[in-house]
Amino acid sequence: MRVPEPKPKVATAEPVVTPISEPSAAASVAAEPERKIVVETQPELLGTPPAEQTALKSPKGYVVLTIGLPGSGKTTWYKRRGVTPLSSDLLRTLLFDDITEQRYQGLVFSTLRSLLRARLIAKMPWNYVDATNLSPHERRQWIKMAKSFGYEVQAVFFDVPLAVCMERNSKRDRAVTDEVMQKMAERLKPPTVVRVKGQPGTEPAAGGEQGGSEAAPEAAL
């Protein structure tokens, strides 16, 4: 019996298959351009920026202004907190040996502004100004300087009745005349937006005793 011969095998070129895996989720994300989601939060108060915006850019420091009539408790507020502010009264004593000297107001306050500027250049984190700061015009000068250095401005407003201020003033050795007190009361323009903060030195300044409350920087403009 004749056995049939096997047919020769024809060699064929088999394609080389390289497995291609599906890209992982992480790889897909990496390949796509980064997408940023911006969430806008409406503040509860118009004068208060949202927390997200505040966190983006922290101020270099703070400038704290007092606003109030003579006898409203401004200097006492600083003393109780162990703070030595830049003070117009202190400058009058240094420049003229007389705390009651009123003839050179321009010189006193230009020197006061120069001292604050020096502190801001030195990047001092907390800066306090003890003055009446009765009008928006007076406060605007401090605010403009502070903002130009990247500092936040806060105002501590002492809402004390004129009669109480005049009574306290009458007991001082360097009492302001009643006529001047009346004129100063007419010039006093309270801040319009108020917010309460914490203890100065660790957080923005707190509202003072004797009716003091703190205003947002915008309120002093």
Q: Which domains does the chain have, with CATH numbers?
A: 62-220 (3.40.50.300)
Of 205, 210, 214, which is closest to residue 72 (Cα–Cα)? 210
| Signed CA dihedral, 102, 81, 169, 195: sign only | positive
Cβ pair 80, 155 in contact under 8 A: no
Neighbours of 141 (CB within 10 A): 14
| Bridge partner list, 214 | 156
pLDDT, averaged per 10 consecutive residues of the chain (221 residues), comes to 52 37 42 46 46 65 94 93 92 86 86 95 96 92 94 93 94 86 93 50 39 39 37
Cβ pair 68, 75 in contact under 8 A: no
Q: And the tokens for 192?
A: 């319009």
Kindly report whether the global pTM for this prediction surpasses the value 0.75.
no
pLDDT at 70: 92
